[in-house]
Structure 1
Amino acid sequence: MGFNDLLQSIGGLGCFQVLHTSMLLLPMCFMACHNFLQNFTAAIPAHRCRLPWLDNQTMTYDRGLLLASVPLDGNQKPESCQRYTEAQSAVWSLNSTLYNNTEPCKDGWVYDKSVFSSTIVTEWDLVCDLHRMRQMAQSVYMAGLLVGALLLGGLSDRFVPESARWLILRGRSREALKYLQRVARINGKREVGVKLSEEVLISHMQSEMKHVKSSQSPVELFRTPGMRRVTICLLLVWFSASLGFYGVGMDLQKFKSNIFLLQFFFGAIDIPAHLISAMSMSYIGRRVTLSASLILSGLTLLANMFIPQDMIILRIALAALGKGCLAASFSCAYLYSGELFPTVVRQTGMGVVTMNGRVGSMVAPLVLMLWEVSTILPPVIYGLSGILSGSAALFLTETRNRQLPDTVGQVETRSKSKGFPRNTPKEEVALTKREPTSPQNHLIDTL
Structure 2
Amino acid sequence: MTRDYDQVTAFLGEWGRFQVMVFSLLCASTVPNGFSAFSVVFLGDTPPHRCLIPDSVNLSAEWRNACIPVEQVDGQVRRSSCRRYRLDVVRNLSAVHQRPGVDVNVQEIEQEDCLDGWEYSQEKYQSTIVTEFDLVCSNQWKEPLTSTVYFLGVLFGSFISGQLSDRFGRKPILFVTMAVQTVFTFIQVFSPSWEVFCIIFFIVGLGQISNYVAAFVLGTEILIKNVRVLYSSLGVCIFFAFGYMMLPLIAFFIRDWRMLLIALSVPGLLYIPLWWFIPESPRWLLSQGRVQEAEAILRKAARMNKVTPPDVIFTLTEGEEKKTNKEDNHNVLDLLRTSNIRYITIILFLVWGTVSMGYFALSLNTSHLHGNPYLNCFISAAIEIPAYTVTWAFLQFLPRRVCAPVSMILGGGVLFFIQLVPPSLPIVSIALEMAGKFGMAIATALMFAYTGELYPTVLRNTAVGSCTMVSRVGSAIAPYFIHLSIFYKYLPYIVLGALTVSAALLSLLLPESFGLPMPESIGQMQNIKCLKLRNTSNKTSGHEEISTPVVLKEEAL
TM-score normalised by length of structure 1: 0.83
Contact 1:212 / 1:344 at 8 angstroms: preserved in 2?
no
- Aligned partners of 1:183 and 1:414: how far apart in 2? 37
Give the structure 1 partner of residue 149 of structure 2: 140
1:196 is the counterpart of 2:194: no
**1:226 Cα deviation (Å)?**
2.1
What amino acid is the match of 1:144?
Answer: G
**Stretch of structure 1 that moved more, 248-257 or 203-212:** 203-212
The amino acid that maps onto 2:52 is R
Q: Aligned partners of 1:303, 1:385: CA distance in 2, in Å?
A: 15
Q: Which residue of 1 aligns with 2:295?
A: 177
Whether 2:369 is the aligned partner of 1:255: answer yes
CA–CA distance in structure 2, aligned partners of residues 41 and 404 of structure 1: 41
1:208–1:398: structure 2 CA closer, same or farther, 3 Å change rule? farther
Q: Which residue number corresponds to residue 126 of structure 2?
A: 117
Aligned to 2:69: 71
* Per-residue Cα deviation, 1:276-334 (whole angstroms, up to 9, x for no partner): 12112222222211111112211122332343444211110111111111111122111
Deviation at 1:172, TM superposition (A): 2.1
Instruction: Decide whether the 8 Å contact of 2:362 with 2:433 is kept in 1.
Output: yes
Instruction: Name the count of aligned residue pairs.
Output: 410
Q: 1:90 is paired with a residue of what secondary structure?
A: helix
Task: Measure how far apart 1:203 and its partner are.
Answer: 4.5
Corresponding residue number in structure 2 for 1:435: none
Task: Establish whether residue 380 from structure 1 lines up as the match of residue 498 from structure 2.
Answer: no
Aligned pairs for 1:399-410 (under 5 A) are: 399-410=513-524
Deviation at 1:99, TM superposition (A): 3.3
1:173–1:201 CA contact under 8 A, matched in 2: no
Q: Which residue of 2 aligns with 1:431?
A: none
Matching residue of 2:27: 25
Q: Is 389-398 or 91-100 further displaced after alignment?
A: 91-100
Q: Deviations over 1:92-139 (max 9, x none)?
A: 245253233222211111111122110111111111121121101111
Q: Kindly indicate whether the alpha-carbon contact (under 8 Å) linking 1:222 and 1:231 is maintained by their aligned counterparts in 2.
A: yes
The one-letter code matched in structure 1 to 2:476 is: M
The residue that corresponds to 1:288 in the other structure is 402
Is the 1:82–1:104 Cα contact (8 Å) retained in structure 2?
yes
> 1:311: which partner in 2?
425
- Work out the percentage of aligned pairs sharing the same amino acid: 30
Partners of 1:366 and 1:413 in 2: how far apart? 37
Counterpart of 1:411 (choices 496, 508, 525) is: 525
1:168-215, CA deviations, whole angstroms, 9 ceiling, x for partnerless residues? Answer: 2332222222222222222222x316x236xx3444679999986453
Q: From the superposition, tell whether residues 132 and 298 of structure 1 become closer, same or farther in structure 2 (CA, over 3 Å).
A: same
User: CA 1:382 to 1:338, structure 2 compared with 1: closer, same or farther past 3 Å?
Assistant: same
CA deviation after TM superposition for structure 1 residue 218, in Å? 2.1
Give SS of 2:106's match: coil
Is residue 285 of structure 2 the alignment partner of residue 167 of structure 1? Answer: yes
Partner secondary structure for residue 73 of structure 1: strand
User: Which protein, 1 or 2, shows the higher relative CO under an 8 Å CA cutoff with sep ≥ 6?
Assistant: 1
Deviation at 1:376, TM superposition (A): 4.2
CA distance in 1, matches of 2:316, 2:477: 45
Which residues of structure 1 form unaligned runs of 5+? Answer: 419-447
Q: Give CA deviations for 1:390-447 in whole Å, capped at 9, x if unaligned.
A: 11211112222222222222225575557xxxxxxxxxxxxxxxxxxxxxxxxxxxxx
1:441 — aligned with what?
A: none
CA pair 310-73 structure 1, distance change in 2 beyond 3 A: farther
1:248 and 1:87 map into 2 onto residues whose CA distance is 45
Please state how far the C-alpha of 1:147 moved relative to its aligned partner: 4.2
Distance change (3 Å), C-alpha of 1:223 and 1:149: closer
Question: How far, CA to CA, are the matches of 2:174 and 2:384 in structure 1?
Answer: 28
**1:151-166 equivalences in 2 (<5 Å):** 154=164, 155-157=172-174, 161-166=279-284
Distance in 1 (CA, whole Å) between partners of 2:136 and 2:174 is 42
RMSD of Structure 2 on Structure 1 (CA): 2.8
Map residues 202-351 of structure 1 onto 2, 5 A cutoff: 202-203=316-317, 213=327, 215-351=329-465
Q: Secondary structure at the match of 1:126?
A: coil
Q: Deviations over 1:59-105 (max 9, x none)?
A: xx733212321122334432211111123211224525323322221
In structure 2, how many angstroms separate the alpha carbons of the residues matched to 1:259 and 1:139?
21
Per-residue deviation, 1:368: 2.9
Deviation of 1:352 (Å): 1.1
* Structure 1 residue 373: Cα displacement: 4.3
> C-alpha separation between the residues in 2 aligned to 1:409 and 1:147?
29
Name the SS of the counterpart of 2:78 in structure 1.
coil
CA distance in 2 between partners of 1:119 and 1:235 (Å): 34
Q: Distance in 2 between matches of 1:241 and 1:387?
A: 10
CA distance in 2, matches of 1:112, 1:360: 32
Higher mean displacement: 214-223 or 337-346: 214-223
Q: TM-score, normalised by structure 2?
A: 0.68
CA distance in 1, matches of 2:347, 2:424: 38
Shift in Å, 1:142: 2.1
Residues 1:150 and 1:411: Cα distance change in structure 2 (over 3 Å): closer
The amino acid across from 1:402 in the alignment is L
User: Does structure 1 retain, via aligned residues, the 8 Å contact 2:289–2:319?
Assistant: no
